[in-house]
Structure 1
Amino acid sequence: MAELILTIIATGGLLGVAALMFAENLFPPIPSEVILPLAGYAAARGDLPLAGVILAATLGAVAGAAFWKGVGRRIPEAGLRRWVDRYGRWLALEVSDLDRAQAFFRRWGGLAVFLGRLAPGIRTLISLPAGVLRMPWGVFLAWTTAGTFLWTLALTMAGVLLASRHEQVAAWLDPVTEILLGLLLAAYLWRVWRRSRRDRAA
């Protein structure tokens, strides 16, 4: 899997990095915790400019966050709750997840968006209440970009550090990546199964 991601990055260049991060924010088939270190690893090898990787990844992730804010803005809160209740299982979302994100947003406002972009599991969700509660686009994009940039910088630089131990990394990169993706897939399937079971019992 690591080689596949590196191939996409090498083939698509900075556009490939941006596309992967955009897709990760819509539906996380490959999490940023995997994409960004590998992109940093590629940059350290000289395949891509480091600053370009950080910029492309940030822009791709912000575009994905903006998509979900737009969804929240266009759908009334009651309609969004019904949509999450009906279809959220396929995104591993539940109404309770939306409730927690909204409560977090109502308490912290713009800071919630910034902190949410640094928190796995809430990074995408925080954009929905920002849309539902009509946060101004300029404020949303400022906070989202700041949080996303820090997240991107940290994980990309982790990949740069890994490149200094190329031989050791090459030996365990694929197994570790596959284990991480396997655990994330298992967690996703478990949430879908739990939700389906609860719906049948209702």
Structure 2
Amino acid sequence: MSAPPADGIAGWAINLMETLGAPGAGLAIALENLFPPLPSEVILPLAGFTASKGSMSLFDAVLWTTLGSVIGALVLYGLGALLGRDRVVAIAAKLPLVKVSDIEKTEAWFAKHGRKTVFFGRMIPIFRSLISIPAGVERMPIMTFTLLTTLGSLIWNTAFVMAGYMLGENWSLVENYMGIVSKVVLGIVVLAVVAFVVIRLRDQRKGKYHARS
């Protein structure tokens, strides 16, 4: 396979890394956290590939990408904290098919499983970024959030940076396989949303039927 293309996300990321070095990789991953359409499955292997060419050390690639992950996550955590529970409840009350009780159930679930969710969520495409917002809304202790985010991100980032480092110009193999995983996760999310809508509409119809009886 050939070297990374000079255009698109891959071209942007590798130019950033070659210009700024390891901090460029950290900046790219921080932006990936804030804008999930930027895929870490592309950026991280590219950081490893760039390290294999000598533009940065492997240690610096892992260090800076993990730092970028934490910074991006903290920004989204702050957004969730700024939004707050009251605003979330107020928004939920105005949304069709959504009940305030849904928020309360989510809060109860997060209170019980929040730590595991933040840690393992760092290793799941799509959820990697989004999980920071409910953590902020629920005001998870900032030190706990930062520690779990750092550990989870370190595992994820190290795996993908190492893959890109070892594969070299074949780094895109990582993107190809993880693209399939991302599509599966997205498909599960879509099915879950569809199931929620169908069940909620059915419940509403039953409620109207009983009200008429």
TM-score (norm 2): 0.67
* Alignment match, 1:54: 62
C-alpha deviation, 1:76, in angstroms: 2.1
SS of structure 2 residue aligned to 1:123:
helix
Larger radius of gyration: 2
Gapped runs of 5+ residues in structure 1?
87-94, 192-202
* Alignment match, 1:70: 78
Residue of 103, 110, 114 corresponding to 1:109? 114
Task: Determine the C-alpha separation between the residues in 2 that align with 1:85 and 1:20.
Answer: 36
SS of structure 2 residue aligned to 1:160:
helix
The verdict on how the C-alpha distance between 1:74 and 1:143 changes in structure 2, with shifts beyond 3 A counting, is same
* Alignment match, 1:91: none
Task: Determine the C-alpha separation between the residues in 2 that align with 1:82 and 1:27.
Answer: 25
Residue correspondences, number: 171
Listed as ranges, the matches of 1:76-95 within 5 Å are 76-80=84-88
Q: Over residues 125-161 of structure 1, what are the superposed CA-to-partner deviations in whole Å (9 max), with x where a residue is unaligned?
A: 2111211111111111011100000010011011012
C-alpha deviation, 1:106, in angstroms: 3.1
* Alignment match, 1:147: 152
Residue of 117, 121, 131 corresponding to 2:126? 121
Q: Given residue 151 of structure 1, which amino acid in structure 2 is its aligned partner? A: W
Higher deviation after alignment, 50-59 or 26-35: 26-35
The verdict on how the C-alpha distance between 1:113 and 1:10 changes in structure 2, with shifts beyond 3 A counting, is same
Gapped runs of 5+ residues in structure 2?
1-7, 191-213
Task: Determine the C-alpha separation between the residues in 1 that align with 2:123 and 2:93.
Answer: 26
Contact 2:36–2:126 (CA under 8 A) maintained in structure 1: no
Higher deviation after alignment, 16-25 or 105-114: 105-114
Contact 1:101–1:125 (CA under 8 A) maintained in structure 2: no
Sequence identity of aligned pairs in percent? 37
Task: Determine the C-alpha separation between the residues in 1 that align with 2:70 and 2:36.
Answer: 14
